Amino acid sequence: MRLGIDIGGTKTAAVVLDREGAVLASATAPSGRGNNDVVAQAAHQARRVVAEVGGPSAISSAGVCIPGLVDTVGGTVRHAVNLDVDDLDLGRLLGDALGIGVVVENDVKAAALGAHRLRKRGLDDTLAYLNLGTGLAAAVVHAGSVVRGVDGVAGEIGHIPVGGDVLCACGQTGCLETLASGTALLRIWPEAPDHGWDLFGRAAGGDGAAVLAAESLCHGVALAIQVLVLGCGAQDVVVSGGLTAMGDPLLEAIRAELRVRGEASPFLASLGLPDRVSFIATDVPVAAIGAAHLVRPAATTPEVTTWRS
């Protein structure tokens, strides 16, 4: 059985999967703050689910994911800002607490792996995962593994500048994230919390700011999907994150935006983008499931061939 732990900005989730990948046990609690509490809460939730399936001897592997810059070889994380973690030796400390080796990965990348396994895609498939939360993040699974690139930066499409004059948190102007994210939605429609985030209901009722926010969101998400499909050839684009709690109205609006784009371009229409996009329900612990599927990366450096002319 595999153990997976997702240390999120607000909550920590743990799951145990059986050999077929089915969830046998799960637990969730508010995340700790600061290095010690983050590790202690993750260990506590892990012990809860492990106890449910017969104890530590039943667990064959363990993985954990967390926001921030993750060194998958060293098992460390830096700049997990929302957790008050600046620099944490997460793999070693959690491994010592649980008595098993723990593989560490970034949360969005682990969620992409979880989505790939939940969709039961094979090694030949390429799947892109788009997280619509406070920000806009993405990751790609190819040949069964997450594409990381140097410093794990592959898939950070939220910071591709696409136009406009809005300053992004990253320091650039006009990033995709300034069009499609919870932050963008609140900037354009500050009353969102007062109306229970009923974006499409309020837009249909004639709320001008909600109309503009919905247009920006759908335009940005459609652009993100197009970038992911053209950039990596993904057959599937699986969307999750807090904003997908809007459910079918958001999914249908995104598909409608993709259809409109296809009407103007036979090339885009041929890609069938509306059929490639789907949501994963927000109550599915997709990142913890992905963490359970992590495998330890190779620490070796490939041989370099030099050429003398």
Q: How far is the CB of 10 from Zn ion (least distance, A)?
A: 22
For the segment 252-271, give every residue that binds Zn ion (CB under 5 A): none
103 close to 292: Cβ distance less than 8 angstroms: no
Q: How far is the CB of 156 from Zn ion (least distance, A)?
A: 9
Q: How far apart are CA 284 and CA 258, in angstroms?
A: 26
Q: Which CB atom, from 177 or from 207, has the smaller least distance to Zn ion?
A: 177
Q: Which CB atom, from 34 or from 161, has the smaller least distance to Zn ion?
A: 161
Q: How far is the CB of 176 from Zn ion (least distance, A)?
A: 8
SS (H, E, C) the chain: CEEEEEECCCEEEEEEECCCCCEEEEEEEECCCHHHHHHHHHHHHHHHHHHHCCCHHHCCEEEEEECCEEECCCCEEEEEHHHCEEEECHHHHHHHHHCCCEEEEEHHHHHHHHHHHHCCCCCCCEEEEEEECCCEEEEEEECCEECCCHHHCCCCHHHCECCCCCECCCCCECEHHHCCCHHHHHHHCCCHHHHCCCHHHHHHCCCHHHHHHHHHHHHHHHHHHHHHHHHHCCCEEEEECHHHHHCHHHHHHHHHHHHHHHHHCHHHHHHCHHHHEEECCCCCCHHHHHHHCCCCCCCCCCCCCCCCC
Binding characters for Zn ion, 136-175, by CB under 5 A (x = yes): -----------------------x--------x-x-x--x
Q: Which CB atom, from 167 or from 230, has the smaller least distance to Zn ion?
A: 167
Tell me the torsion sign for CA atoms 231, 237, 242, 243.
Answer: positive
SS (H, E, C) 85-108: EEEECHHHHHHHHHCCCEEEEEHH
Q: How far is the CB of 177 from Zn ion (least distance, A)?
A: 5
Q: Which CB atom, from 142 or from 159, has the smaller least distance to Zn ion?
A: 159
Q: How far is the CB of 159 from Zn ion (least distance, A)?
A: 4
For the segment 89-118, give every residue that binds Zn ion (CB under 5 A): none
Q: How many CB atoms lie within 10 A of CB 215?
A: 15
Q: Which CB atom, from 167 or from 256, has the smaller least distance to Zn ion?
A: 167
Q: Which CB atom, from 132 or from 258, has the smaller least distance to Zn ion?
A: 132
Q: Which CB atom, from 83 or from 157, has the smaller least distance to Zn ion?
A: 157
How many residues touch Zn ion under the rule CB under 5 A: the total is 5
Q: Which CB atom, from 124 or from 165, has the smaller least distance to Zn ion?
A: 165
Q: How far is the CB of 134 from Zn ion (least distance, A)?
A: 13
Q: How far is the CB of 90 from Zn ion (least distance, A)?
A: 26
Binding characters for Zn ion, 173-212, by CB under 5 A (x = yes): --x-------------------------------------
Q: How far is the CB of 149 from Zn ion (least distance, A)?
A: 17
Catalog residues that contact Zn ion under the rule CB under 5 A: 159, 168, 170, 172, 175
